[in-house]
Amino acid sequence: GAVVSQHPSWVICKSGTSVKIECRSLDFQATTMFWYRQFPKQSLMLMATSNEGSKATYEQGVEKDKFLINHASLTLSTLTVTSAHPEDSSFYICSARDVQRGLNEQFFGPGTRLTVL
Binding-site member from 4, 30, 84, 116 for another protein (CB under 8 A): 4
Contact 24, 94 (CB under 8 A): no
What is the Cα–Cα distance from 94 to 19, expressed in whole angstroms? 15
Q: Looking at residues 92 to 111 of the shown chain, list those that interact with another protein (rule: CB under 8 A).
A: 93, 95, 97, 103-111
* Min CB(80)–another protein separation in Å: 20
Binding-site member from 13, 44, 62, 74 for another protein (CB under 8 A): 44
* Min CB(108)–another protein separation in Å: 4
Count residues near another protein (CB under 8 A): 26
- Is residue 61 packed enough to be buried (19+ CB in 10 Å), middle (13-18) or exposed (0-12)? exposed
What is the Cα–Cα distance from 15 to 51, expressed in whole angstroms? 29
Q: Is 90 in the site for another protein (CB under 8 A)?
A: no
CA atoms within 13 A on the CB side of 75: 8
Q: Is 42 in the site for another protein (CB under 8 A)?
A: yes
Backbone angles phi, psi at 87, to 5 degrees: -70, -10
Q: Toward another protein, which CB reaches closer, 82 or 91?
A: 91
